Chains A and B, each alone.
Chain A
Amino acid sequence: MGEIALPIDRFPVPDEELVRIIVVTSLTISCILITAMAYSSAFCLISSQLLFIPIIYAAYFFPRRGLYIAAICSFAFQTIGYYHSYPDSLAMISVTSEAIFFIILAALITFFNERVRSGEVRYRAIFEHSQIGILLFDSATFAIRTSNTKFSGMLNYTPGQVNEKSFLDIFLTPREKSRFLERIEKEKTTSDFETRFATKDGGSCWVNLSWDHIDANTVSCSVMNINGRKIAEKLNNDNMMKYRQLTESSPTSILIIQNGFIRFANPSFVAFLGHTVAEITGKSLETFIDPGDRENLNEFMAQWSQKIPAAQTRELRFVTKSGEIRGAALFTTAIRHLENPATLINLVDISEKQRLEEKILQDNDRRRGIIITVAHELRTPLQPILGYLNLLISDPEGFGIVADTKKILERCLASVDRERQIINQMLDLSVLDSGKIKLKYSTFALAPMVRKVLDDGGFGTKADLTVDVGESVMITADADRMISILDSILSNAISYSKPPRKIGIIYRTGIDDRQHHIAIRDNGIGIAPSQLCSIFEPFQLADGVVLARKYERLGLSLSIAKKVVQMHGGDITVESVVNGGSTFTIHLPKEVQHDA
């Protein structure tokens, strides 16, 4: 409507209105002429009141112009009336009142007409500018009669393109279409029908439809674009599914604890405990903890509430439904659950690990037991050999042994004795490993002990000795063990150096130093850097080849020495230069914590 406009004297006038103006004008003119003729008494039957017709017509279609026309008509009517009735004053008054009546009538028509029209304009504006798509379609054919720009824009069409389509053609799939048809069949009025439309380029657009039959043939339908909401919902659903799967299928148990109560437990935890979900949720975590570990749990939970930023971890024992005790490692993270602070616990079942650890300990014990038994068994047959050899050597003349034979017997004795020593070391190490050995602490002066070791071992005859140990140096340790440690290191120094041997024993410490340092330095062949870290390792840790070589060189005395010093809370370290000598340093703590 009103799309074609003709410019008349600079103002564009819609063609339809132009036609109306022409019609009204011609009608008015003809009415005036008719009236004039009536007053000229030529046609008495034609009433001057015929002027009503153009006034009502004009006032109805063109309210403001209608008023002008009414005014013109009234003026013409009055002029003609005065002309005929003059000087009859009564008739003249009657003509004037009639003219005024015309104008009032036109004004009334205009007033009501305007009111009606402004209402229409308002509704049209609502329709055109609505943020909801609105359309009317035929209830029988579903042809779209009219739609607003919001609706066409929603589907990327121009308003004209949409209005040529059938409403049924814009559904995305035949399934959506049949759902709609079913629904509209059942319900004349519907709100919140969610479906998908196809956009012009074939995309999908989620919409929420509400419709109502406004008359027998027309359905008014409002269309709300809910694409954004649907996409967000789908994303949300996808995320929910993802997290759900994560927690439901996680092999680690997942718990949410709030104020000490279990708010959530995943199937893995349910399986771990053997209780049902209902038996677990809402209960306090403490319920499922071994009574012996409850204090441990409370201490652990106190750490959560202190909001220590680093994640916490603790191993606790749980009691399952069947009464079995199962160990688990708990890792906590602070989270928010239902708007309130909570603790997320990842729980790893370590009962299997603990079982294996126990088994390893048992196996080790068993193996140590075997080693100890085997060592005893190996040692026993050596006794008579050693006894006989000692006997023969102690009285060569009595047994008729010549000097050469005696030399051979002495070599046999040395070899057998060495074997005995190795077996003894093996035993010693196994017993030390078992942890059943207790050190016998005493406090003694170091210098006399060093002198005793040097004298007993005859080291003074084998090497040039330098001893730098203050007479006032007192140490607290297991004296017998210390003697054998010093003896082992000194023997080792003698074995791996050639005359002229030089051995230095140096004691060092500081006022702030919490350790004694006893260094034993030799001028021997030294130790290659690659072997430095392995010389303290007992032979059972090395492979066969290394075993043979190390056995020959070092035996087990250094392993035993290091282990014993470590039992004191100290250590033995070594520095060495190949062909320049080695320095073994015993580090012993000054303050020892020991029983008795």
Chain B
Amino acid sequence: MTRKIMLVEDDLPILEMMEILLRKIGYEPVLVPDVLEALELVKRDPPALILLDIMMTPINGWEFLEKLRTEYNIRELPVLLFTASPSVEEKIRQMNDPYLGVLQKPVSVPDLKAGIERFLGK
């Protein structure tokens, strides 16, 4: 099973930091600062999990998710939304998507590990 984790985040310092964190816990990060490019990449080379930022342009994390699930029909790929807003948790509860989780910013190594292991196992 691949250890590839796709990181979709348009803020470069966060991207770099997350890369280190992911490597630290033994995953192989794929960094994608361009959200539209990420969609193409998912189709070509699907990762084990996507870490997705919400506030991005030209499309935000929610729109990315919508396209991924309906347009690309990729329903069983785990997605961890990466956010600083506490209200996101409530929102995804209502969406009833078993392959959708949330990771609160600021992220710590144990939180990141637990979040990924929830979907991928140890």
Contact = CB atoms under 8 A, between A and B. Distances in A.
Interface stretch (A257-265, A321-329, A381-389): A381-389
Interface residues of A, number: 19
B110 interface: yes
Contacts of A395: 24, 109
A386 B106 contact: yes
Interface in A403-433: 417, 420, 424
B11 interface: yes
B106 A387 contact: yes
A387 B24 contact: no
B55 A382 contact: no
Interface stretch (B14-22, B40-48, B65-73): B14-22
A387 B107 CA distance: 6
A394 B109 contact: yes
B106 A391 contact: no
B114 interface: no
B16 A383 contact: no
Contact of A394 (B14, B17, B106, B108): B108
Contacts of A387: 14, 17-18, 21, 106-108
A562 to B, nearest CB: 20
Nearest to A388: B17
A395 B21 CA distance: 11
Contact of B17 (A379, A383, A398): A383
B14 A380 contact: yes
B104 to A, nearest CB: 11
A390 B14 contact: no
Looking at chain B's contact residues, is the secondary structure mostly helix, strand, loop, or mixed?
helix
A508 interface: no
B13 interface: yes
B106 A390 contact: yes
A560 B18 CA distance: 32
Interface string B1-26: 00000000001011011101100100
A384 B21 CA distance: 10
A391 B11 CA distance: 19
Interface string B45-85: 00000000001000000000000000000000000000010
A390 B106 CA distance: 9
Interface string A55-93: 000000000000000000000000000000000000000
A347 B106 CA distance: 58
Nearest to B110: A394
B93 to A, nearest CB: 12
A376 interface: yes
B98 to A, nearest CB: 23
Nearest to A423: B84
Contacts of A398: 24
Interface in A523-551: none
Interface in B27-50: none
B83 to A, nearest CB: 11
A380 B107 contact: no
A376 B11 CA distance: 12
B84 A424 contact: yes
A380 B24 CA distance: 22
B105 interface: yes
Nearest to B20: A391
A380 B54 CA distance: 12
A390 B21 CA distance: 10
Identify the interface centre among A381, A388, A390: most chain B CB within 10 Å of its CB: A390
B122 to A, nearest CB: 18
Nearest to A387: B17
Contacts of B105: 383, 386
A417 B14 CA distance: 16
A390 B111 CA distance: 11
A376 B84 CA distance: 9
A380 B83 CA distance: 10
B18 to A, nearest CB: 7
Contacts of A394: 108-110
A410 B27 CA distance: 26
B106 A383 contact: yes
A218 B20 CA distance: 133
Contact of A391 (B13, B14, B21, B90): B21
B84 A384 contact: no
A390 B55 contact: no
Nearest to B16: A384
Nearest to B85: A427
Contacts of B110: 394
Contact of B14 (A376, A384, A420, A424): A384
A420 B13 contact: no
A387 B20 CA distance: 10
Given A390-B108, A424-B84, A383 B24 contact: no
A260 B11 CA distance: 67
A382 B13 CA distance: 10
A383 B11 contact: yes
A391 B55 contact: no
Contact of A390 (B11, B13, B90, B107): B107
A383 B55 contact: no
B109 A390 contact: yes
B91 to A, nearest CB: 12
A400 to B, nearest CB: 14
Contacts of B24: 391, 395, 398
Contacts of A383: 11, 13-14, 17, 84, 105-107
B21 to A, nearest CB: 6
Contacts of A391: 17, 20-21, 24, 109
Given A388-B17, A391-B21, A380 B11 contact: yes
Contacts of A381: 13
Nearest to B13: A384
Contacts of B55: 376
A486 B100 CA distance: 31
A424 B86 CA distance: 10
Contacts of B21: 387, 391
A384 B16 CA distance: 8
A376 B90 CA distance: 20
Given A380-B11, A391-B24, A394-B109, 4 more contacts: A380-B14, A384-B13, A386-B107, A387-B106
5 contacts: A383-B17, A383-B105, A383-B106, A387-B106, A395-B24
Sort A-B residue pairs by CB-CB distance and give the 6 closest, nearest first. A386-B106, A384-B17, A387-B17, A390-B108, A384-B13, A394-B109
